[in-house]
Amino acid sequence: EAGVAQSPRYKIIEKRQSVAFWCNPISGHATLYWYQQILGQGPKLLIQFQNNGVVDDSQLPKDRFSAERLKGVDSTLKIQPAKLEDSAVYLCASSLDRGNQPQHFGDGTRLSIL
Amino acid sequence: AQSVSQHNHHVILSEAASLELGCNYSYGGTVNLFWYVQYPGQHLQLLLKYFSGDPLVKGIKGFEAEFIKSKFSFNLRKPSVQWSDTAEYFCAVNPYGNNRLAFGKGNQVVVIP
């Protein structure tokens, strides 16, 4: 079974620039998650999709972060404009559905803001 | 909202030593509990999970964890570690039926050959 695919693996930008990350979940997984993992901390949920609808975006900084999953499969997460504190690894995960299912994680995108 | 505490962020031990990592959570209702592992250069992988039933759960690579409801704990154990167990270990919890996972800060474990 192919895992969760993310790109790019690394991204370096200057503050105030914009950046986008892409995620393709495991085939058949209805639920998709984006997490932010700051160095020395555990992953923090940013947004959760069920098919193409947002289930939970309560921890997403909506003034600068946005995400979409238009066709209910792959997803993009965007930051515009980026701040220094956005330096982190952005993880995508997927699960079969919202219920009691384990999440499968991608390799993440490591973002550095200069 | 639920929260997860992991102590002793950095653990260094020799091969064949026993490992125990503590995990405590704060949430009043029924929860699902997980331990994830991240080997160097790899993605987070599920080590083991507890949904219901026997509170002693066994995972991959000889790991086990015990859910003690009265202590809000889900500690991870391995009787004899190997060099290949060098990794970062994360405890995570979500309310039963809701996949909103809360992670602890992780334990960086280094096993010296």
CA gap A83, A17 in Å, rounded: 8
Beta bridge partners of A44: A36
Cβ separation A43–B103 shorter than 8 A:
yes
Beta bridge partners of B13: B111
DSSP helix/strand/coil, A18: coil
DSSP helix/strand/coil, B13: strand
Chain A nearest-CA distance from B31, in A, is: 10
Q: Which of B7, B25, B44 to mutate to test the interface with A (most CBs of A within 10 A)?
A: B44
A22-77 tens-digit pLDDT: 999 999 999 999 999 999 899 999 999 999 899 999 999 999 999 999 888 999 99
Cβ separation B43–A108 shorter than 8 A:
yes
B21-71 tens-digit pLDDT: 999 999 888 899 999 999 998 999 999 999 999 999 999 999 999 999 999
